């Protein structure tokens, strides 16, 4: 019985009708009176989604990514030294040159210094010896006999010949070894292989005979025409001989410029393809066909950069030792030039090695060959 003063209880709901056939148990139709809302109670007109506010165009799923839970592989641009290869533009090859030098700076510098520092020391003392001889001769009174003059001239000639012999020994023996070792280090970096000073020196020593043979071949091709043409000019003699000699010198400069560009990839083929000197000469000639001016521009860029750096440092050295005697100034300049050369000479070797691979990729499908080997 309800308490006095409380609100009357609402009337009980009528019992739900039994579920019809096919209806879920206990879930009948809604009670009467709860049908669809009367017409006209839809959303107010104009209140739909704002026009133009769909998903931003172009923001689909990232390319190369499939449904979650499935691995995907996306292509990445090849990078020098990553084991993936492609032909590179002029600027990309220059950039790759600096990148390889930065990555392998210590082994490349160690190899270069190992062969150039001994020669630099000999060159330093050799530079002082001829200058000391010249100074001693100029300080003495003029000889009164032809025998005395010949004696002093013989001393100077002997000093110069010693320096010349050491220089030729360096360029024929030591420099090819340094070049071969650096080329091996650069090639291993490009092919994504382990490398170091030991590997480079080992390869160069195994190929020492072919390296020396190729350098001698370069010297013969460059110098022999000049010797023959100069001898012809001397035989002609007179004004005609002098004019012929000038023409010969001009033609020789053009010839040497052309031949050295055509032979510039021979050292790479001696090391990387294990060719003999003559086979390397023919191989380099074929590889550089059609790329002559491109390689020339590479040489030009490296020479200009090295020349600017060398000029700046030489000017600084002259300011420091400006008041020193001439022999001291000359010796210091030799040291500075040698140190600069240790740092700058690897650039052209690195660049030409990358050019060698670039040409092979363009013409011989070297990238496909390496891909097939990796499968």
Greatest mean pLDDT range, 13-27, 64-78, 138-152, 190-204: 190-204
Say whether pLDDT at 7 is over 70.
no
Looking at every residue in the chain, the average pLDDT score rounds to 76
CA-wise closest residue to 298 among 356, 361, 342: 356
| All structural domains of the chain with their residue ranges | 90-139+146-373
Residues 6+ apart with CB under 8 A from 172: 212, 215, 216, 219
Helix axes 292-320, 90-103, angle to 10 degrees: 50
Given pLDDT bands bounded at 50, 70 and 90, which one contains residue 247? confident
pLDDT at 168: 86
Rounded mean pLDDT, 340-366? 92
**Residue 187, exposed/middle/buried by CB under 10 A (0-12, 13-18, 19+)?**
buried
Neighbours of 321 (CB within 10 A): 15
* Residue 366 confidence (pLDDT) above 90: no
**Predicted confidence (pLDDT) at residue 79 exceeds the cutoff of 50:** no
Taking only the tens place, the pLDDT of each residue in 250-308 is 888 999 999 999 999 999 999 999 999 999 999 999 999 999 999 999 989 988 888 88
Q: What is the pLDDT of residue 206?
A: 96
Other beta carbons within 10 angstroms of residue 102's beta carbon come to 8
The DSSP letter of residue 172 is I
CB 107 within 8 A of CB 198: no
Taking the C-alpha atoms of residue 190 and residue 194, their distance in angstroms, rounded to an integer, is: 10
Query: What letter does residue 174 receive in the DSSP assignment?
Result: I
Q: pLDDT digit string (tens) for 211-226?
A: 999 999 999 998 888 8
CA 85 to chain centre: 14
Mean pLDDT of 78-90: 65
State mean pLDDT over 321-350: 80
Given this model, what pLDDT does residue 140 score?
52
Q: Is the pLDDT of residue 19 over 80?
A: no
- In whole angstroms, give the CA distance from residue 41 to residue 18: 32
The share of the chain scoring above pLDDT 70, in percent, equals 66
> What is the DSSP track for 46-60?
T-SSPTT-SSPTT-S
pLDDT digits (tens, 9 = 90+) for 130-158: 555 555 555 555 554 556 556 666 777 77
Judging by beta carbons within 10 Å of its beta carbon (0-12, 13-18, 19+), is residue 112 exposed, middle or buried? buried
Question: What are the CA-CA distances from residue 126 to residues 201, 318, 327 (Å)?
Answer: 28, 20, 11
Please check whether residue 130 is in contact with residue 156, taking contact to mean a CB–CB distance below 8 angstroms: yes
């Amino acid at each position: 019985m309800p308490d006095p003063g409380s609100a009357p209880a609402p009337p009980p709901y009528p019992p739900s009708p039994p579920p019809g056939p096919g209806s879920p148990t206990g879930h009948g139709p809604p009670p009467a009176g709860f049908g669809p809302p009367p017409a006209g109670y839809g959303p107010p007109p104009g209140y739909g989604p704002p026009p133009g506010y769909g998903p931003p165009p172009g923001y689909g799923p990232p390319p190369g990514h499939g449904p979650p839970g499935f691995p995907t592989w996306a292509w990445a641009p090849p990078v020098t030294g990553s084991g993936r290869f492609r032909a590179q533009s002029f600027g990309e090859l220059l950039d790759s040159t600096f990148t390889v030098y930065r990555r392998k700076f210590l082994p490349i510098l160690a190899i270069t210094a190992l062969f150039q520092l001994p020669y630099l020391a000999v060159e330093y003392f050799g530079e002082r010896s001829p200058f000391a001889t010249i100074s001693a001769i100029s300080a003495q009174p003029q000889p009164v006999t032809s025998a005395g003059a010949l004696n002093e001239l013989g001393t100077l000639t002997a000093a110069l010949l010693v320096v010349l012999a050491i220089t030729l020994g360096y360029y024929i023996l030591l420099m090819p070894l340094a070049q071969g070792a650096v080329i091996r280090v650069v090639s291993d970096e490009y092919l994504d292989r382990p490398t170091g000073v030991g590997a480079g020196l080992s390869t160069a020593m195994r190929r020492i005979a072919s390296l020396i043979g190729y350098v001698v071949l370069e010297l013969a091709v460059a110098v022999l025409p000049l010797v023959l043409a100069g001898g012809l000019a001397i035989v002609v003699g007179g004004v005609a001989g002098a004019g012929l000699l000038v023409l010969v010198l001009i033609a020789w400069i053009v010839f040497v410029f052309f031949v050295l560009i055509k032979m510039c990839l021979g050292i790479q083929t001696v090391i990387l393809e294990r060719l003999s000197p003559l086979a390397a000469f023919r191989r380099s000639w074929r590889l550089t066909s059609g790329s002559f001016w491109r390689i020339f521009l590479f040489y030009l860029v490296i020479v200009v950069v090295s020349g600017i750096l060398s000029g700046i440092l030489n000017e600084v050295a002259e300011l420091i030792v400006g008041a020193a005697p001439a022999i001291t100034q000359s010796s210091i300049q030799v040291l500075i030039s040698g140190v600069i050369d240790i740092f700058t000479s690897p650039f052209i070797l690195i660049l030409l090695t990358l050019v060698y691979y670039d040409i092979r990729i363009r013409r011989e499908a070297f990238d496909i060959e390496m891909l097939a080997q990796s499968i």
